[in-house]
Structure 1
Amino acid sequence: MNFVVNKDWLAEQLQNDQVVIIDCRFELGNPDKGEELYREDHIPGAYYFHLEKHLSSPVTKHGGRHPLPDMDQFKLELEKAGIDHTKTVVAYDGGEGQFASRFWWLLTYMGHEKVYVLNEGFKGWVQAGYPTTKEVPTYQTAEFEVNIQKEMLASYDEVKAAVEDKKNALLLIDSRDEARYVGEIEPIDRIPGHIPGAINKFWGEGLEQGSFKNEEEQKKRFAELGQEGPIIVYCGSGVTATPNVIALKMAGFKQVKLYAGSYSDWVSYEENPVEKGKKG
């Protein structure tokens, strides 16, 4: 099953009103930057979705640094962008892959079956000489029918139960870089380390120069993992874990869940244990 499209294909679809394009550019250290870039230049016809305004809800004591958005509000934003189940939706970011993947995960979770990430993002689009514009498209409202895919989301309670049950066959994958996983550094969250029992698969290793690696390469990344049992993927706040969700699905894994609150939610409960160092 395909989860990505390339810039050449998208360039041929610019006049196709059945294809909706979503700009997800964002900078974690500068929340206004992505929208500023969109105002300056974007792929023709693209609508802008802001990570913190549209793809997340406000931060509270628990739930992590990027809690899932209110689904009723997200539904309204989708409808304003003209998205219904007849449309093919393509999301892009600056070429990092993580922000477009967050949109991909959310729309898939809402029950849409034709949503893709643009390989190489806006950077690749511009380098190829394809057109850009400052023109903000006129909203063409649609009616989106929500069909939540519950099997895609892991709750805090599910993760906690998996940690406490040493015999649990459920696999936890930490998508952060190794230094944060082992607890050498922690620039954001309350305490360094990882959720007990988790293995480390850095999300960035699933991409190369802004493009997702192919299915065979993804299978090699996860070759030591059994494909029968369920897998829960997390990161710091539920954003960079989403490219790993895509990569696992590309590799053929069926039972893949996102712990949306991720490590920032886990350590918001002071009683929760953390581990440091490499597993095994």
Structure 2
Amino acid sequence: MAEDVLADVQVGAGFGSGNGFSTLIDAATLAAHAGDADWRIFDCRHQLADTSYGERAYAEGHLPGAHFLHLDRDLSSAKTGRNGRHPLPDPAVLAERLATAGVGESTQVIAYDDAGGMMAGRLWWLLRWLGHRRVAVLDGGVAAWLRAGLPLTSELPGASARALLPLPSAQDLQAAVVDAPTIVAALGSDQHCLIDARGADRFRGENETIDPVGGHIPGARNRFFGGNLTPEGTFRPADELRREWLDVLDGVPPTQVVCYCGSGVSACHNLLALEIAGLAGARLYPGSWSEWCTRGDDGLPRRPIAR
């Protein structure tokens, strides 16, 4: 039944299409374009338990021409204690940061990490949130680059600022996300299909070592983002992803899907997998579990929790 509902969607749309790369790119193709004037590469490596790791790894060796973006400073905004661990950055601030690295309207952006695309997927989603579709994740990240026999460098890229990306309207920016009050209001209905990207144990409320409360949003389904990957850390083929995601959705159209995780980072990995599978249209709950499990700014009791 799900296949009937979604049969007209093109699987893997955007992988190296005439409009550029909009989901994934392999190491050999990236190497062939690495020196192109209108391509920009971003190193997004990060570890939650060691927030200086990415900068150290970048200094030791990164893809030639790559700029570094920090998850906390560049790809997130300030935390208040109630807006989750990685609140979305201010769109204008993010656009300015990207412009200083040379990202303009026609720029092909490539993001990479060493975590199966978990961190790079955040930049992929953020650029699409800003309306920029020419962005892809290096499939397999640093490991795939090295397996292809390609070099790393410690040389820093030169500055080449561009005009700011034109920002979408506030309405369009809001349309790509779902906030906590909207989810609360829809609990118990079929308005949203919530997909939690965390591991199964944390989804069940077990072994929670990051957030103060364990559990998940009532009614949510669990799809660990790691299930999108092969043992080598590359994304699984589009047709495999499509079959598995159709089972997860069980007839629900992608436009009703809301992805979340611990802090709005690995949820972007699931959004990328859905795009690769030709199941576009899902939205992000940016605050995710780290926001949900705190008390809201409205002073209401803690939001409901399932285990």
Q: TM-score range by the shorter chain?
A: over 0.9
Once residues 158 and 213 of structure 1 are traced to their aligned partners in structure 2, the CA distance between those partners, rounded to angstroms, is 33
Once residues 96 and 60 of structure 1 are traced to their aligned partners in structure 2, the CA distance between those partners, rounded to angstroms, is 29
Once residues 200 and 178 of structure 2 are traced to their aligned partners in structure 1, the CA distance between those partners, rounded to angstroms, is 23
Superposed, 1:215-254 pairs within 5 Å as 215-224=238-247, 225=249, 226-228=251-253, 229-254=255-280
Match of 2:108 in 1: 88
Q: Deviations over 1:107-165 (max 9, x none)?
A: 110010100000110122123221221111111000121125433211222221222xx
For the pair 1:36 / 2:56, whether they are aligned, the reply is yes
Match of 1:210 in 2: 233
Conserved in 2, the CA contact under 8 Å of 1:85 and 1:113?
no
Match of 2:68 in 1: 48
Match of 2:214 in 1: 192
What secondary structure, in the 3-state scheme, does the structure 1 residue paired with 2:109 have? strand
Match of 1:152 in 2: 176
Q: Deviations over 1:218-274 (max 9, x none)?
A: 112112322535100000000111110011122232330010100010011252110
The offset of 1:95, in angstroms, is: 4.0
Q: Deviations over 1:71-96 (max 9, x none)?
A: 22111111011001111110000142
What secondary structure, in the 3-state scheme, does the structure 1 residue paired with 2:246 have? coil
The offset of 1:70, in angstroms, is: 1.7
Once residues 112 and 101 of structure 2 are traced to their aligned partners in structure 1, the CA distance between those partners, rounded to angstroms, is 15
Once residues 254 and 121 of structure 1 are traced to their aligned partners in structure 2, the CA distance between those partners, rounded to angstroms, is 23
Once residues 189 and 152 of structure 2 are traced to their aligned partners in structure 1, the CA distance between those partners, rounded to angstroms, is 53
What secondary structure, in the 3-state scheme, does the structure 2 residue paired with 1:98 have? coil
Conserved in 1, the CA contact under 8 Å of 2:197 and 2:260?
yes
Superposed, 1:1-280 pairs within 5 Å as 1=13, 2=15, 3-143=23-163, 144-147=165-168, 149-150=172-173, 151-163=175-187, 166-208=188-230, 209-224=232-247, 225=249, 226-228=251-253, 229-269=255-295, 270-276=301-307
Once residues 282 and 223 of structure 2 are traced to their aligned partners in structure 1, the CA distance between those partners, rounded to angstroms, is 14
Contiguous gaps of at least 5 residues in structure 2: 1-12, 16-22, 296-300
Once residues 271 and 119 of structure 2 are traced to their aligned partners in structure 1, the CA distance between those partners, rounded to angstroms, is 13
Superposition CA RMSD, Å = 1.3
Once residues 132 and 24 of structure 1 are traced to their aligned partners in structure 2, the CA distance between those partners, rounded to angstroms, is 15
Once residues 22 and 167 of structure 1 are traced to their aligned partners in structure 2, the CA distance between those partners, rounded to angstroms, is 40
Give the alignment's TM-score, normalised by structure 1: 0.94
Contiguous gaps of at least 5 residues in structure 1: none
Once residues 141 and 277 of structure 2 are traced to their aligned partners in structure 1, the CA distance between those partners, rounded to angstroms, is 22
2:304 partner letter:
P
Give the alignment's TM-score, normalised by structure 2: 0.86
Conserved in 1, the CA contact under 8 Å of 2:193 and 2:252?
no
Once residues 119 and 31 of structure 2 are traced to their aligned partners in structure 1, the CA distance between those partners, rounded to angstroms, is 21
Once residues 179 and 18 of structure 1 are traced to their aligned partners in structure 2, the CA distance between those partners, rounded to angstroms, is 43
Once residues 120 and 276 of structure 2 are traced to their aligned partners in structure 1, the CA distance between those partners, rounded to angstroms, is 16
Once residues 280 and 42 of structure 2 are traced to their aligned partners in structure 1, the CA distance between those partners, rounded to angstroms, is 26
Once residues 159 and 61 of structure 1 are traced to their aligned partners in structure 2, the CA distance between those partners, rounded to angstroms, is 20
Once residues 252 and 77 of structure 1 are traced to their aligned partners in structure 2, the CA distance between those partners, rounded to angstroms, is 30
